[in-house]
């Protein structure tokens, strides 16, 4: 993928989990490859434990991959913090914790500028006010404390802070999940508008396929730490190729689809073969023994032995 | 639409009157100790200022001790000493403990393991026993009382701050600051410290009450403050000797000590209610 | 190996490690600081005599070797000889242990019997304004009055109007249980006051936070009687923090007995220890502190095992 | 069919430090036996307050104002003691949002299930109950502690508990909000099919319009503590009369086409401190007229729905 702002190449992340007496090795990400170009939004969808947040943290340099490479702006990722000040930003999930409760809203918004050492005091104040206006807030809010703001307003402030240094790459991790439907729509549209204006590369992570599909150009679906499908948003407005994608679609559209009823299995992740096997409605013996590789199918990449569904097996 | 009623005056503990009263008592006690030399209650170290072992009279409101020294003045001197010794010791423990706890929680895992293990070890000494050990090694006196209080209150402070820091460090705003490239110092002092300060304050208040208990216990055993200085514990030690013939010698310091520790504890309760409000939900 | 077995193994290993660390700390502190053994035994002796004594006690060897020897003997039950009385320390401790254990046990029992019901009750009725204030005051008072103050008051009152209790005489339990109780109850009560306060506050706080949990609301929504909800859900869940505080309190007791034994002239370990400290009898201090720490760590490990039984989340795979 | 639930003009306030907050400002709703009703609204719309009021489960700072709430012919507001417990245990069954949190963490599933069943129920009854909610592996699950279950399994257990006493009405408050997206559908299907099989009525609370559309016969849309539009689900969603229903449908992502835009509702939901004198949605409404801010709209019947809007008559849907 040329021209990517951020690129992951076969990234694996392992870590030890649990207390000393029940220590396990967890594969949070396996062979994850993806790239985000300038002006593009990549959606990343999956449920809890799918590795989507880990992948986001790898892109931000918060976690170093166990194996594999991270490329930022054409160069290997530089983990010294000076190197990337102001170039990366994130908007995270919890509105109640998105801002330091002890700081004025304006101080929080200006913090990335101060860290990057851009502009004097007057300049910083002017830019903070402008940025607040751009996310649809009144500049006087800069003098308030976070607890005086609503959840939607706090997420707007978090977006203002993320964009104030004109970063090349922004991660939105479940940025609208905790908001009410009517406010969620406001924030989703704001993200779309700001990206069209500023042209940053964005990674939009969510468990909600409907929200991801709405803001993203391309979508990566993850399950059990692996990429199982990578397709354009257009494709996912239709029928997904991977049974897991179809399960998510059935949930968000509540459509009846025989191939989409994922079981709620007790041991959810298979240790051998395809990780979805215990829950998959169309699993075969091949799935139990052989791990499916990610392979192209039209303009989609899919990791499934039976991407055409039950009909395709015959 | 009706507007909620406005409050024009805000007291520090809102409608928690018990904590407010306790705070006032505490301030009065410390003031009494500080202003004692200016009050017309006599010189606490003037041997033979009055008759020996006198019961409370007009001249000596709390009587006199076995050397004829006025008890009221000695008690005021004692309360100040008890309070100052334990507060200084606890402040040292709080600063050291807060720094250790924060750094342990927010740096390398190996350092965290080491600090936690040492805190656990210190924690596994029963408090008074640790005080005994310290005085046995350092020889009795104020310095060993301070050392004992520091060692006894430090591990709890480290644990509490470490837990609070772990909690704050995983919050969104700290992670976002790290993404923006904020330095370790900035994250520590701008983001973590102000948000754990409440917990540190509460723990400090409780530690001071424990410190006063330790100091007076050691002095009671004759291992803390040495004559001619007096703390409430050492006054009680003298009083216990004359319990049969002059019980007022013991009761004055005893009551005051109990009142002081109770006030610090209630003050701590009030602080905790502000930092960590816990709503009661009854069964119906 | 099952998770539970592995959990137990890790707990025991960590207890042993802590114990070893404590031993190093105590030994190091006593031997590294000024005021050495010879100063205690023969303060003004000429150098040759000091050297002789040093050689006899092995003080001329390297510190690590001394520590090894001491630890080796301690594990076999030999805690050395008192510097003052030249009696074996272990035997002295063994003779006095039952007295201290009895008083500490009585104090814990009183603390639980009084603290748990009061704490749970005040937690359950927490929405009435008077109840929390009263329980805070009672609990706060119990926690704030030092045991030697309570002891002094008791001593004063009961030495004046004896009222069945005896002061200053100790009858071993085996000789005459009633006479023993007459001497043991007062010191135990003085000791238990802090425990009552701690247990009351903890039980109250735990009850209130359990009442706020969803599963309590769900049980109420199923139409359970309040009494049933308390018995089935509240007590069990609120018991966990109470166990912690009792483990910490019994650690405090080990020090608290020292003061109460002094005050009431009870022939227990505490009094032996305080004379050891006052006379700088290092063998006694070293052994006493080591024993108390061992006991405390043992108690904490037991408390951990008890939680694991009460709260299956702890021993298991630590959630999802 | 008879009215199982009849709520008319119910008012509930919460006392808070900042003064009173009005949660229900004259809500009205009827549920017939065996009927499935969806309750839609954003946080603060009053839907949870309404659900909890059904079982008189409101927190102590709630104050019942005017209005009536009848369940199975009795006024819930006046119920006390045994009669109230009977309503909760036999007439109503609740399913909550966080399935693992609503189970006692210290008890095995089998014991918790047995506690809600008739006296004398044995292991076989527990197993059959678990099998009924689609848990095939019932031996293992019965022996599990709640934290060992996945969210989906725990929610099935909660549904089993809610249905154990064969209630007349199940109240499900966001039963799938904390579950992974891919299993939400099956949990909703299970709930609906079990209710149908037992002839139990269902009140399903959700902010997810698609879930309501999928499961419920009728829907009540709540805003500002009032039920602003109540009618048959398919008709309401196809041609909403109330501007809020219309705006809500347009704001939810999922129904737009590729490249299309969802239309957010400007502004924020209101926080009422007392009776709303106008229409609570007026500041955010695209169709507002002068009367909306001045006069409180009353309920009117439009095309077999109850709608609370000044302009309801002009927005009457074209006859089918």
- C317 min Cα distance to partner chain A (Å): 6
Q: How confident is the model at residue D282 (pLDDT cuts 50, 70, 90)?
A: very high
Q: What is the pLDDT of residue A55?
A: 95
Is the pLDDT assigned to residue C303 strictly greater than 90? no
Mean pLDDT, all residues of chain B: 82
Residue ranges per structural domain of chain D: 3-254+261-308
Which residues touch C162 (CB under 8 Å, ≥6 apart)? none
State the pLDDT at residue C269. Answer: 87
Domain check: are C107 and C249 in the same one? yes
Helix boundaries (H) for A69-204 = 81-84, 105-116, 121-134, 151-163, 181-198
Distance between B276 CA and the closest CA of chain A, angstroms: 15
- CB contact under 8 Å between D147 and C313, yes or no, is yes
Shortest distance between the Cα of B127 and any Cα of chain C, in A, equals: 6
User: Residue range A168-188: average pLDDT?
Assistant: 90
Subunits in contact with chain D (3 or more CB pairs closer than 8 Å) = A, B, C
Question: If you average pLDDT over every residue of chain A, what do you get?
Answer: 87
- ω into A186 cis (within 30 of 0): no
pLDDT score of C128 more than 70: no
In this prediction, residue B8 carries a pLDDT of 44
Identify which of A61-65, B220-224, D259-263 has the greatest average pLDDT.
A61-65
Task: Please give, rounded to a whole number of angstroms, the shortest distance from the CA of D77 to a CA of chain A.
Answer: 31
User: What was the pLDDT predicted at A266?
Assistant: 57
pLDDT of residue C37: 60
C229 shares its domain with C146:
yes
Give the per-residue pLDDT at D86.
92
CA-CA-CA-CA dihedral for D215, D217, D218, D221, to nearest 10: 20
Q: Provide the b/e sequence for C12-24 (b: ≥16 CB within 10 Å).
A: eebbeebbebbbe
CB A89 within 8 A of CB A162: yes
* Cβ(C97)–Cβ(C287) below 8 Å: no
Task: Say if residue C136 is in the same domain as residue C168.
Answer: yes
SS3 at position A314: coil
C147-160 helix and C235-264 helix, angle to the nearest 10 degrees: 60
- Do C69 and C101 lie in one domain? The reply is no
For residues D218 and C182, which has the higher predicted lDDT (pLDDT)?
D218
Q: What is the mean pLDDT of residues B65-77?
A: 80
Whether the per-residue pLDDT at A20 is higher than 70: the answer is no
Tokens 């009205």 found at: D28
Q: How confident is the model at residue C317 (pLDDT cuts 50, 70, 90)?
A: very low
How far does the CA of residue C309 sit from the closest CA of chain B (Å)?
23
Single out the residue of A8, A12, A71, A70 nearest to residue A44, CA to CA: A8
Domain check: are C13 and C124 in the same one? no
Q: What's the structural domain count of chain C?
A: 2
Question: How many CA atoms are closer than 13 Å to the CA of A80, on its beta-carbon side?
Answer: 2
pLDDT, mean over chain D: 89
Domain check: are C203 and C306 in the same one? Answer: yes
- ipTM, two decimals, is 0.82
A91 pLDDT more than 80: yes
Which residues on chain D are in Cβ contact (under 8 Å) with C208? none
Q: CA-to-CA distance for A61 and A41, rounded, in angstroms?
A: 19
pLDDT, tens only, C75-126 = 888 888 887 778 888 888 888 888 888 999 999 999 999 999 988 888 887 6
pLDDT greater than 80 at residue C260: yes
Tell me which chain B residue has its CA closest to the CA of residue C250: B126
pLDDT for A267 equals: 59
Span A148-162, pLDDT tens digits: 888 889 999 999 999
The CA-atom distances, in angstroms, between B129 and each of C24, C75, C257, C285 are 17, 21, 10, 10
Using alpha carbons only, give the angle D199, D202, D206 rounded to the nearest 5 degrees: 155
For A246, the closest chain D residue by CA position comes to D182
pLDDT of residue C42: 60
Query: For residue A256, what pLDDT is reported?
Result: 65
- Joined together, the tokens standing for residue C244 give 């912690």
- The reported pLDDT for the residue numbered B15 is 60
Rounded CA separation A153/A136 (Å): 9
Q: What confidence score (pLDDT) does residue B280 get?
A: 42
**Cβ separation A111–B177 shorter than 8 A:** yes
Residue C85 within any structural domain of the chain: no
The predicted structure's pLDDT at residue C126: 63
Give the full edge-to-edge strand order of the sheet including A75-76: A24-37, A4-17, A67-72, A75-76
> With an 8 Å Cβ cutoff, is D257 touching chain A?
yes
B133 touches chain C (CB under 8 A): yes
Task: Output D86 or B72, whichever has higher pLDDT.
Answer: D86
Give B162-215 pLDDT, tens digit per residue. Answer: 988 988 998 999 999 999 988 888 999 999 998 988 889 889 998 999 999 999
Pair B54, B42: CB distance under 8 Å:
no
Q: Please state, in angstroms and rounded to a whole number, the distance separating the CA atoms of residues C104 and C96.
A: 13
CA C16 – CA C20 distance, rounded (Å): 6
The two beta strands, A88-91 and A169-173, are: parallel
* The last residue of a domain, from among C75, C99, C115: C75
User: Facing residues of D170 across strands?
Assistant: D93, D202
8 Å CB contact of C259 and B213: no
Contact list, D90 vs chain C (CB under 8 Å): 223
Q: CA-CA distance, D126 to C76, in Å (whole number)?
A: 55
Instruction: Look up tokens 């009898």; give the residue.
Output: C281
The whole-angstrom distance between A138's CA and the closest CA on chain B is 22
Which of D59, D63, D83, D279 has the most B C-beta neighbours within 10 Å, making it the best mutation to test the interface with B? D59
Q: Are residues C36 and C124 in the same domain?
A: no
Name every chain B residue with its beta carbon within 8 A of the beta carbon of D19.
Answer: 2-5
DSSP C156: H
Q: What pLDDT is stored for residue B7 in this prediction?
A: 41
Average pLDDT over residues A41-56: 91
Over residues D96-122, mean pLDDT: 87
Give me the CATH number covering residue C180: 1.10.3720.10
CA distance C47 to chain B (A): 23
For C98: left if phi > 0, alpha if psi spans -120 to 50, otherwise beta; the answer is alpha
- Tell me the per-residue pLDDT of A251-273, one tens digit each, with 9 for 90 and over: 777 666 666 777 776 555 667 88
Residue D85: pLDDT band (50, 70, 90) is: very high
Query: Looking at the domain D3-254+261-308, which fold is it?
Result: Rossmann fold (3.40.50)
Q: Are residues C42 and C126 in the same domain?
A: no
Clarify whether residues C121 and C16 are in a common domain: no
Question: Which residue in chain A is spatially nearest to D244 when comparing CA positions?
Answer: A182
Do D126 and D80 contact (CB within 8 A), yes or no? no
Chain A neighbours (≥3 Cβ pairs under 8 A) are B, C, D
Q: What pLDDT, on the 0 to 100 scale, is given for residue C129?
A: 64
Which residues 6+ apart lie within 8 Å of C291 measured at CB?
A: C79, C93, C269
Q: Which residue of C has its CA nearest to D117?
A: C222
Is residue C194 located within the same domain as residue C268?
yes
- Looking at beta carbons, which residues of chain A come within 8 Å of B173? 97-100, 108
Residue D283: DSSP 8-state: G
Q: Is residue C26 part of a domain?
A: yes
Mean pLDDT of B219-247: 83
Q: Tell me how many residue pairs between chain A and chain C have CB atoms under 8 A apart.
A: 17
Predicted local distance difference test score (pLDDT) of residue B13:
63
Q: Which of residues C75, C100, C132 is at a domain's end?
A: C75
Q: Which chains touch B (3 or more CB pairs under 8 A)?
A: A, C, D
Q: Is the pLDDT of residue D320 over 70?
A: no
- Nearest-Cα residue of chain A relative to residue C11: A21
Q: Distance, in angstroms, between D86 CA and closest chain B CA? A: 14
Which residues of chain B does C144 touch, with a Cβ-Cβ cutoff of 8 Å?
209, 258, 261-262, 264-265
Q: Do B172 and A98 touch (CB under 8 A)?
A: yes
Out of A71-85, A206-220, B142-156, pick the least confident: A71-85
- The answer to whether residue B281 scores a pLDDT higher than 50 is no
Rounded to the nearest 10°, the torsion over CA A143, A149, A154, A160 is -30
C216: closest chain D residue by CA: D102
Pick the closest to residue D245 from D320, D176, D305, D181 (CA basis).
D305
Same domain, C206 and C256: yes
pLDDT at C16: 87
Contact with chain A for residue D177, Cβ under 8 A: no
**Do residue C133 and residue C276 come from a single domain?**
yes
- Inter-chain touch A18–C9, beta carbons under 8 Å: no
pLDDT tens digits along D25-57? 999 999 999 999 999 988 889 999 999 999 999
**What is the model's pLDDT at position B122?**
79
* Range among B67-81, C12-26, D187-201 with highest mean pLDDT value: D187-201
Q: Please give the model's pTM, rounded to 2 decimal places.
A: 0.84
D155-190: pLDDT as tens digits: 999 999 999 888 999 999 999 888 888 888 889 999
CA distance C153 to C52: 50
Distances (CA, A) of C181 to B2, C267, D35: 66, 14, 70
Residues contacting residue D214 through CB under 8 Å, at least 6 positions apart: A254, D185, D188
Q: Name every chain A residue with its beta carbon within 8 A of the beta carbon of C7.
A: 19, 21-22
Q: Which residue has tokens 């990366």?
A: A88
Alpha carbon of A125 to those of A118, A145, A157: distances in Å? 12, 16, 15
Whole-number Å distance between alpha carbons of C280 and B137: 8
CA D291 to chain centre: 31
Amino acid C162: pLDDT: 67
What is the secondary structure of D135-187 as a DSSP string? Answer: -S-HHHHHT--GGGS-HHHHHHHHHHHHHTT--SEEEEESTTTTS-HHHHHHH
Pick from B85-89, B278-282, C130-134 the range whose average pLDDT is largest. B85-89
* CB–CB contact C221 D87 (8 Å): no
Supply the range of the domain harboring residue C139.
Answer: 90-314
Q: Please answer yes or no on whether D106 and C237 come within 8 Å at the CB atom.
A: yes
Pick from C21-35, C248-262, D58-72, D153-167: least confident: C21-35
């Amino acid at each position: 993928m040329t021209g990517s702002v951020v690129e992951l190449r076969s990234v694996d992340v392992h870590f030890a989990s649990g207390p000393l007496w029940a220590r396990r090795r967890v594969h949070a990400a396996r062979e994850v490859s993806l790239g985000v170009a300038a002006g593009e939004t990549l959606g990343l969808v999956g449920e809890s434990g799918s590795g989507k947040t880990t992948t986001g943290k790898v892109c931000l340099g918060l976690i170093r991959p166990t194996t594999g490479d991270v490329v930022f702006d054409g160069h290997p990722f530089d983990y010294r913090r000076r190197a990337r000040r102001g170039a990366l930003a994130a908007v995270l999930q919890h509105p109640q914790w998105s801002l330091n409760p002890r700081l004025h809203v304006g101080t929080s918004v200006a913090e990335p500028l101060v860290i990057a050492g851009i502009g004097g005091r007057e300049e910083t104040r002017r830019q903070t006010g402008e940025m607040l206006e751009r996310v649809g807030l009144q500049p006087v809010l800069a003098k308030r404390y976070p607890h005086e703001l609503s959840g939607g307003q706090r997420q707007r402030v978090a977006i203002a802070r993320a964009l104030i240094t004109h970063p090349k790459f922004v991660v939105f991790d479940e940025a609208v999940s905790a908001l009410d439907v009517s406010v969620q729509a406001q924030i989703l549209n704001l993200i779309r508008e700001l990206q069209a204006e500023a042209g940053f590369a964005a990674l939009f992570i969510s468990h909600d396929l409907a929200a991801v599909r709405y803001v993203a150009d391309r979508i990566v679906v993850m399950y059990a730490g692996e990429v199982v499908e990578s397709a354009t948003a257009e494709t996912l407005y239709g029928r997904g190729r991977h049974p897991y994608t179809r399960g998510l679609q059935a949930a968000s559209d509540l459509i009846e689809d025989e191939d989409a009823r994922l079981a709620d299995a007790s041991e959810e992740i298979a240790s051998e073969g395809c990780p979805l096997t215990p829950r998959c409605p169309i699993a075969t013996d091949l799935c139990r023994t052989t791990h499916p590789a990610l392979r192209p199918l039209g303009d989609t990449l899919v990791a499934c032995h039976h991407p055409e569904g039950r009909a395709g097996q015959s | 639409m009706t507007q909620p009623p406005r409050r024009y005056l805000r007291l520090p503990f809102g409608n928690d009157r018990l904590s407010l009263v306790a705070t006032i008592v505490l301030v009065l006690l410390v003031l009494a100790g500080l202003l004692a030399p200016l009050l017309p209650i006599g010189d606490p170290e003037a041997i033979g200022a009055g008759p020996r072992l006198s019961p409370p009279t007009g001249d000596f409101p709390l009587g006199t001790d076995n050397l004829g020294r006025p008890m009221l003045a000695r008690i005021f001197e004692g309360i100040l000493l008890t309070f100052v010794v334990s507060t200084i010791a606890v402040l040292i423990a709080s600063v050291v403990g807060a720094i250790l706890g924060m750094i342990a929680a927010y740096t390398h895992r190996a350092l965290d393991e080491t600090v936690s293990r040492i805190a656990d070890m210190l924690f596994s000494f029963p408090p008074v026993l640790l005080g005994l050990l310290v005085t046995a090694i350092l020889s009795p006196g104020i310095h060993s009382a301070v050392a004992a209080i520091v060692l006894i209150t430090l591990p709890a402070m480290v644990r509490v701050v470490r837990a609070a820091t772990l909690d704050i460090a995983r919050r969104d705003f700290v992670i976002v600051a790290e993404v923006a490239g904020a330095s370790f110092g900035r994250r520590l002092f701008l983001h973590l410290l102000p948000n754990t300060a409440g917990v540190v304050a509460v723990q400090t208040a409780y530690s001071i009450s424990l410190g006063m208990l330790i100091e007076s216990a050691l002095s009671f055993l004759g291992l803390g403050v040495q004559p001619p200085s007096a703390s409430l514990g050492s006054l009680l030690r003298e009083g216990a000797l004359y319990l049969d013939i002059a019980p007022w010698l013991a009761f004055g310091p005893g009551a005051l000590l109990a009142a002081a520790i109770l006030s610090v504890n209630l003050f701590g309760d009030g602080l905790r209610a502000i930092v960590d409000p816990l709503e009661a939900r009854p069964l119906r | 190996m099952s998770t539970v077995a592995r959990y137990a193994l890790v707990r025991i290993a960590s207890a042993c490690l802590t114990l070893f660390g404590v031993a190093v700390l105590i030994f190091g502190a006593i031997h590294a600081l000024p005021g050495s053994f010879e100063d205690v035994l023969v303060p003004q002796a000429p150098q040759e005599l000091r050297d002789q004594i040093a050689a006899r006690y092995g003080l001329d060897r390297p510190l690590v070797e001394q520590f090894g020897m001491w630890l080796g003997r301690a594990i076999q039950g030999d805690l050395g000889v008192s510097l003052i009385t030249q009696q074996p320390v272990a035997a002295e401790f063994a003779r006095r242990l039952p007295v201290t254990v009895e008083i500490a046990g009585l104090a814990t029992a009183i603390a639980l019997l009084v603290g748990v019901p009061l704490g749970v009750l005040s937690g359950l009725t927490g929405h009435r304004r008077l109840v929390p204030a009263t329980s805070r005051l009672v609990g706060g008072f119990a926690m704030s009055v030092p045991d030697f103050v309570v002891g002094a008051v008791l001593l004063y009152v009961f030495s004046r109007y004896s009222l069945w209790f005896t002061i200053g005489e100790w009858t071993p339990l085996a000789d005459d249980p009633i006479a023993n109780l007459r001497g043991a109850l007062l010191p135990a009560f003085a000791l238990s006051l802090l425990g009552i306060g701690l247990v009351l506050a903890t039980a109250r706080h735990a009850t209130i936070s359990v009442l706020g949990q969803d599963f309590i609301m769900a049980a109420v929504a199923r139409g359970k009687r309040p009494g049933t909800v308390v018995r089935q859900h509240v007590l069990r869940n609120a018991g966990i923090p109470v166990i912690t505080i009792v483990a910490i309190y019994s650690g405090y007791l080990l020090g608290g007995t020292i003061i109460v034994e002094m005050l009431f002239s009870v022939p227990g370990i505490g009094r032996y220890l305080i004379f050891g400290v006052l006379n700088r009898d290092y063998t006694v201090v070293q052994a006493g502190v080591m024993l108390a720490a061992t006991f405390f760590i043992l108690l904490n490990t037991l408390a951990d095992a008890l939680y694991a039984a009460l709260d299956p989340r702890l021993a298991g795979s630590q959630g999802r | 069919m008879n009215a199982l639930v009849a709520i008319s003009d119910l008012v509930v306030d919460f006392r808070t430090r900042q003064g009173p907050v009005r949660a229900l400002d004259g809500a009205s709703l009827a549920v017939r036996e065996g009927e499935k009703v969806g309750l839609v609204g954003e946080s603060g719309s009053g839907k949870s307050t309404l659900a909890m009021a059904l079982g008189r489960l409101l927190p102590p700072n709630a104050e019942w104002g005017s209005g009536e709430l009848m369940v199975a012919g009795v006024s819930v507001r006046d119920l006390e003691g045994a009669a109230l417990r009977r309503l909760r245990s036999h007439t109503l069954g609740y399913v909550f949002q966080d399935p693992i949190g609503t189970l006692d963490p210290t008890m095995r599933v089998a014991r918790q299930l047995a506690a809600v069943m008739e006296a004398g129920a044995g292991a076989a009854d527990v197993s059959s109950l678990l099998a009924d909610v689609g848990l095939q592996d019932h031996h293992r699950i019965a022996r599990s502690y709640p934290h060992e279950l996945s969210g989906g399994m725990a929610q099935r257990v909660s549904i089993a508990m809610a249905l154990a006493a064969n209630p007349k009405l199940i109240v499900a408050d966001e039963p799938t909000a904390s579950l992974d997206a891919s299993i939400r559908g099956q949990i909703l299907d299970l709930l609906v099919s079990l209710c149908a099989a037992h002839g139990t009525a269902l009140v399903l609370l959700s902010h997810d319009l698609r879930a309501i559309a999928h499961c419920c016969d009728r829907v009540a849309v709540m805003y500002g503590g009032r039920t602003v539009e109540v009618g048959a689900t398919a008709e309401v969603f196809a041609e909403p009369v109330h501007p809020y229903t219309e705006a809500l449908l347009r704001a939810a992502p999922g129904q737009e086409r590729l490249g299309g835009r969802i239309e957010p509702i400007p502004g924020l939901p209101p926080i009422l401190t007392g009776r709303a004198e106008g229409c609570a949605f007026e500041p955010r409404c695209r169709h507002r007229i002068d009367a909306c801010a001045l006069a409180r709209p009353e309920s009117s019947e439009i095309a077999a729905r109850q709608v609370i809007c000044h302009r309801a008559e002009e927005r009457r849907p074209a006859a089918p």
